[in-house]
């Protein structure tokens, strides 16, 4: 478990994993720094063995427009959101190649595709680059038994998105985002998938996803549940986040 801040939260998660019967360590590292990432992976492999699963979910955001452009802020976003993916992937790919097995998941964003949120252009650009790198890395590493996929979440309540907002502010934030949505509303929990299924049945079409999003049962193990991961793949799972 990698962290750049909030050591207490990282250690608490390590304790939770250990209590569930797993093994975990917390390692402080700035993914923007090559040496720090290599040291993190080195310690992980020394204490837990070769990494077989990598989740690149480190990220920072900064809102700005062409008028308020800040070169240092944009550069920092790129170093973490893009360079961090490159550094971590390079750090684990050698052992994955040797094992001829590896699963890499990059966390992108729907901002990479396009959203109505103003002041998000430069953040969106970093996530669009993650999408492109995911495709290219999948082509480059696939021949070695390594899959590379990405997920693109929407606006999710996390420490990063909640920064500067109190608990009482969040409902207003959700409503503001709902007002910008194409349909002008939020999808109730669990309803979106049913609506998509009905839509597909009406049109008699099958949703098409790019090949770099497709996974097999063994290609998408769950790091959070060791028992489920074991049922999906016979290989030992060692995750680096």
Residue in 3, 69, 101, 123 annotated catalytic: 123
Q: What is the pLDDT of residue 173?
A: 67
For residue 13, is it within any domain?
no
Asked, for residue 16, whether it belongs to a domain, the answer is no
Burial call 108-119: b when 16+ CB within 10 Å, e when fewer:
bbebbeebebee
Specify if 204 maps to a domain.
Answer: no
Q: Which residues constitute the domain of residue 121?
A: 47-156+175-197+212-240
**Separation CA 31–CA 89 (nearest Å):** 11
Task: Flag whether 83 is in a domain.
Answer: yes
Would you state the pLDDT for residue 177? 65
Tokens linked to 118? 């103003």
In a domain, residue 164? The reply is: no
Q: Given this model, what pLDDT does residue 232 score? A: 35
Number of domains in the chain: 1
> Count of CB atoms within 10 A of residue 133's CB?
20
- Which CATH number goes with the domain that contains 62? 3.40.50.720
Q: Is the residue at 33 inside a domain? A: no
Q: Is residue 123 among the annotated active site residues?
A: yes
Q: What is the pLDDT of residue 144?
A: 97
What is the 8-class DSSP label of residue 55?
E
Whether 146 is in a domain gets the answer: yes
DSSP state of 3: E
Long-range CB contact pairs, 206-212, < 8 A, 24+: 210/135, 212/134, 212/135, 212/138, 212/148, 212/149, 212/150
Asked if residue 142 belongs to a domain, the reply is yes
* Ranges of the chain whose pLDDT falls below 50: 191-239, 241
């Amino acid at each position: 478990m990698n962290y750049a801040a909030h050591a207490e939260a990282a250690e608490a998660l390590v304790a939770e994993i250990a209590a569930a019967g797993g093994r975990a360590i917390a390692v402080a590292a700035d993914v923007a720094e090559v040496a720090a990432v290599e040291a993190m992976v080195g310690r992980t492999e020394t204490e837990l063995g070769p990494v077989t699963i990598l989740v690149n979910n480190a990220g920072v955001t900064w809102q700005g427009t062409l008028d308020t452009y800040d070169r240092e802020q944009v550069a920092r976003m790129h170093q973490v959101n893009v360079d961090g993916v490159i550094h971590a992937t390079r750090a684990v790919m050698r052992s994955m190649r040797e094992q001829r097995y590896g699963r890499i998941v990059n966390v992108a964003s729907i901002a990479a595709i396009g959203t109505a949120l103003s002041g998000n252009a430069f953040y969106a650009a970093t996530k669009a680059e993650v999408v492109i790198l995911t495709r290219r890395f999948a082509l480059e590493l696939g021949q070695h038994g390594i899959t590379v996929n990405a997920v693109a979440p929407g606006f999710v309540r996390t420490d990063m998105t909640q920064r500067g907002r109190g608990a009482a502010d969040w409902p207003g934030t959700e409503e503001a985002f709902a007002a910008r949505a194409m349909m002008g509303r939020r999808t109730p929990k669990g309803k979106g998938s049913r609506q998509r299924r009905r839509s597909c049945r009406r049109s008699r079409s099958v949703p098409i996803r790019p090949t770099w999003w497709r996974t097999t049962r063994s290609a998408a193990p769950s790091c959070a549940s060791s028992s489920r991961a074991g049922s999906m793949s016979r290989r030992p799972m060692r995750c680096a986040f």
